[in-house]
Amino acid sequence: MIRSVCGDKPKQWDLALPQVEFAYNSAMHSATGKSPFSLVYTSVPKHVVDLVKLPKAPGFSASAETMAKEILAVKEAVKAKLEATGKKNKAAADKHKRLKVFKEGDDVMVFLRRERFPVDEVLYPEENLGASSSEVEETDVGRIS
């Protein structure tokens, strides 16, 4: 998006960044059906044309209860849309999924993470900062000197 805005001056991308960010945040997302700005601030972002002062309609004011109901309705609609999109993506991913069946004696490759095993005292001396060499090796330091 920045590349298309900068055009023939790619080294001035930082000057176009605010415009691109506003355009991205005000564009509708396919998964939610709303723009990121409208999800966070519960209203459509104001563009330059929207900043023109219009005469107020007499007798119109939005109450807090109506606004809260609208926010909850938008929240529920977005939640339903995200769940539907998730189901659609899962169905598409499951088309290519294969069931892997292992038998006893099969060779398998296992990736084990560090968090599953305790810290080894020999390999991690920084964990044993309280112990001196005489305590670890059970030697009498006085006899060495």
pLDDT in tens, the chain (145 residues): 878 877 788 888 888 888 888 888 888 888 888 888 888 888 777 776 666 665 565 555 567 778 778 888 888 999 999 999 999 999 999 998 888 888 898 998 887 776 666 666 565 555 555 555 555 555 555 555 4
CB 80 within 8 A of CB 48: no
The torsion of the CA quartet 68, 69, 73, 76, rounded to 10 degrees, works out to 70
CB 28 within 8 A of CB 34: yes
Domain shared by 126 and 82, yes or no: no
The answer as to whether 121 is a domain residue is yes
pLDDT one-digit tens code per residue, 71-101: 888 889 999 999 999 999 999 999 988 888 8
Range of the domain at 32: 2-47+64-89
pLDDT value of position 84: 94
Q: How many domains does the chain have?
A: 2
Domain shared by 21 and 68, yes or no: yes
Q: Measured between alpha carbons, how far is 122 from 82 in angstroms, rounded to an integer? A: 49
CB 45 within 8 A of CB 38: yes
CB 16 within 8 A of CB 5: yes
CA angle 118, 121, 127 (to 5 degrees): 90
The answer as to whether 75 is a domain residue is yes
Domain shared by 84 and 119, yes or no: no
pLDDT value of position 100: 84
Nearest to 46 by CA among 35, 32, 55: 35
pLDDT value of position 2: 78
Q: Measured between alpha carbons, how far is 113 from 111 in angstroms, rounded to an integer? A: 7
The torsion of the CA quartet 83, 89, 91, 95, rounded to 10 degrees, works out to -170
